[in-house]
Amino acid sequence: MEALAVRLSHLDSQAEGAIRVVMFYDTLMRRRVDLPALARASAGLAECVAGIRLHDGGRVIRFAPDGGRARAPAPPPSTVTPISLDDEEIGAVWLERPGPPGPLDELLLDRLALAAASVVERYGPARTTMADPALVELVISEDADEAARARALRLLGFAPGPPVAVAAVVSPAPLDRVARLVCPAGLVKAAPLRDVGVLLAAAVDPARFPAGSRAGLGRSWREARTALRFTTPGEPVIRYADLGALALLADVPPEIARANADVAALARLADHPDDLRTLDAYCSTGSLRGAAELLHLHHSSVARRLGQLGGVLGIDLAEPGGRTRVKIALTVRRLLDG
């Protein structure tokens, strides 16, 4: 294999070199090499440092062309190619070549990425973030017995022990990317379930959800879905445990909620979104100046608008009890709107 690498590094014909690169990696795969051997052989072939990184656990492998481990810190790579498995990006391979990339670097990395994906799958279980939706649904189902749920968790890679955190997610970003962002170090599994994404993880970092995402976090799917219903643009990630008594509002029958006088009064403001935003800002901050800052208005303008709205609603918004009534009514209205 070393002799082949030497010959490849001196080829004049790019076409012949491409064929031999393919043959080189075919030979490596027939020998069933592991990831370090792949990186070492690739570094010798490319005559520069070659690296492999897997997203799961953050494992990084770097070898120099002399066959030894590459020194840290690593310089910026000259060429990078993602490793994909089952249509999911699970890592990356790269070369650290001084100067411009070589004519066969792109092909070499394509073959290295394919070989790395094959190694990960062979010596798995496959370390993909996206999981079998049937297994995930079994874990979160309230009807599944404990033995079946434990078996599903084990198949997903979770060891017996602490309870698994559950997140219900709506995001413009791909679900596997969201999962890796909010669970950068630990095991995480994700699957789409109808209109909502499901994350199962040992722990979730609520501060790492990408912009535009909404998420509810809980110890069960019911808790996570309930928390998701309470999210707003101003509070896009909510833990069920932080809802406290507010969680009871999610169980109020819709017909009873709509018949409530305060909720019905807010419904009549549906065609005036600026009025609803003013009420929401005031109830969220608890002060005129706080609401004015959120709305980018002068506090006197907010005071005048709130005075008019208080008259329409028949509620004294200057009183703490009035603000509480409106805040609850706004929350119930959001729950009704889904």
Residue 125: exposure state from Cβ atoms within 10 A (0-12, 13-18, ≥19): exposed
Average model confidence (pLDDT) for the chain?
Answer: 88
Q: State pLDDT tens for residues 206-259.
A: 999 999 999 999 999 999 999 999 998 888 999 999 999 999 999 999 999 999
The pLDDT, as a whole number, for residue 338 is: 67
- pLDDT-based confidence at 165, cuts 50/70/90? very high
For residue 125, cis peptide bond before it (omega within 30 degrees of 0): yes
**What's the angle, vertex CA 213, arms to CA 247 and CA 54, rounded to 5?**
120
CB 275 within 8 A of CB 291: no
Q: State pLDDT tens for residues 128-141.
A: 788 888 889 999 99
Topology at the third CATH level for domain 2-122? Beta-Lactamase (3.30.450)
- pLDDT-based confidence at 24, cuts 50/70/90? very high
> What are the beta bridge partners of residue 83?
91
Task: Answer yes or no: is pLDDT of 297 > 80.
Answer: yes
Residues in the chain: 338
Distance CA 69, CA 168 (A): 42
CATH superfamily label, 252-337: PucR C-terminal helix-turn-helix domain (1.10.10.2840)
The pLDDT, as a whole number, for residue 259 is: 94
- pLDDT-based confidence at 13, cuts 50/70/90? low
| 143 token code pair | 């009807």
Q: State pLDDT tens for residues 304-329.
A: 989 899 888 889 888 889 889 999 99
Report, as an integer, the average pLDDT of 270-293.
86
Listed by start position, the domains of the chain span 2-122, 133-244, 252-337
Q: Whole-prediction pTM value?
A: 0.63
